[in-house]
Homo-oligomer: A and B are copies of this chain.
Amino acid sequence: MPSTNIAVTIIGSGNVAYQLAPALKNCGYFIENIVARNTKTGKALAKKVGAKYTNSISEIKDAGIVIIAVKDDAIADVVKQLPPLKKAMVIHTSGATDIDVLSKFKHSGVLWQVQTIQARSKVDFKKVPLIIEANNSVSKKQLKQLANSLSNLVYELNSEQRRVLHLGAVFVNNFPNHLYVLVEELLKKHKLPFEIYAPLILSTAQNGIDNPRQAQTGPANRNDKKTMSNHLALLDDKTMKKIYKLLSESISSKNLKI
């Protein structure tokens, strides 16, 4: 284990905090404090990484790195409670939140992971894309070092680019997953097992990553009106009908060669 001797305070004990704290410890950072309102998860995480637990944000010392790993809408409130730190680098971990929310600190940054962090699952940080942004050259150097020690996929982007990336993540994560939810319900009605799609879903992801334009197939892509009208006739659900129509029109309008 390498050692950096840099002390880290993590505010929060949710999924991101639970993934980051041990990962940083493994990279040689000294996890000094876990600050959390939730006593149970806070103490558990502190114990896991050999840190002190506290629920008092105002006691945080002005040194090392302070990571705000709380829900997006709680960041501003945490910032308000923190003293105006001049030496510590304060970073948040939100994809949708501007770096400006941290403007009261001298050194600030953002560390956002482009990955769904499920509850307590094991994450190989080396393969998780990390998006970083810093407010000055001192914090940039420190943040780069931290990010590079965690992952092999570090991207330095500004707040606007990160916002676009956060928006795109909704289209490649939240929306496809919702389509799975809808289809699972449809199949249940017809007593069909959703697992039947497992190989198709995985190959769709892989082919889409490789080249989504080339991977586009289906009735809308070949403008096969007969199949599309048969499909629509099969759908009882009004919302699924709307989704089918809108996405099919959008596919047809792209006019990708088959």
- Taking Cβ atoms with an 8 Å cutoff, the residues of A that contact B are 72-73, 96, 114-116, 118, 127-129, 153, 155, 157, 160-161, 163-184, 186-187, 190-192, 194-209, 212-213, 215-221, 224, 226-227, 230-231, 234-235, 239-240, 242-244, 246-247, 249-251, 253-254, 256
Instruction: Give every chain B residue within 8 A of A73 (Cβ-Cβ).
Output: 224, 226
CB <8 Å contact, B243 and A250: yes
Dominant SS at the A interface?
Answer: helix
Instruction: Give every chain B residue within 8 A of A182 (Cβ-Cβ).
Output: 171, 250
From B72, B96, B114, B204, give the contact of A205 (CB < 8 A).
B204
CB <8 Å contact, B215 and A114: no
Q: Min CB distance, A250 to chain B, in Å? A: 5
How far is B186's CA from A157's CA once the two chains are assembled, in angstroms?
A: 16
How far is B96's CA from A175's CA once the two chains are assembled, in angstroms?
A: 25
Known: A167-B231, A219-B170, A224-B73. A176 touches B204 (CB 8 A): yes
Known: A72-B224, A164-B187, A196-B114. A204 touches B250 (CB 8 A): no
Whose C-beta in chain B lies nearest to the C-beta of A203?
B116
From B170, B196, B249, give the contact of A129 (CB < 8 A).
B196
CB <8 Å contact, B173 and A217: yes
How far is B172's CA from A195's CA once the two chains are assembled, in angstroms?
A: 12
Instruction: Give every chain B residue within 8 A of A208 (Cβ-Cβ).
Output: 176-177, 180, 201
Q: Min CB distance, A226 to chain B, in Å? A: 8
From B173, B234, B242, B243, give the contact of A204 (CB < 8 A).
B173
Known: A114-B199, A164-B234. A213 touches B175 (CB 8 A): no
How far is B256's CA from A180's CA once the two chains are assembled, in angstroms?
A: 14
Instruction: Give every chain B residue within 8 A of A190 (Cβ-Cβ).
Output: 160-161, 164
Instruction: Give every chain B residue within 8 A of A171 (Cβ-Cβ).
Output: 179-180, 182-183, 186, 240, 243-244
CB <8 Å contact, A254 and B181: yes
Instruction: Give every chain B residue within 8 A of A168 (Cβ-Cβ).
Output: 183, 186-187, 192, 197
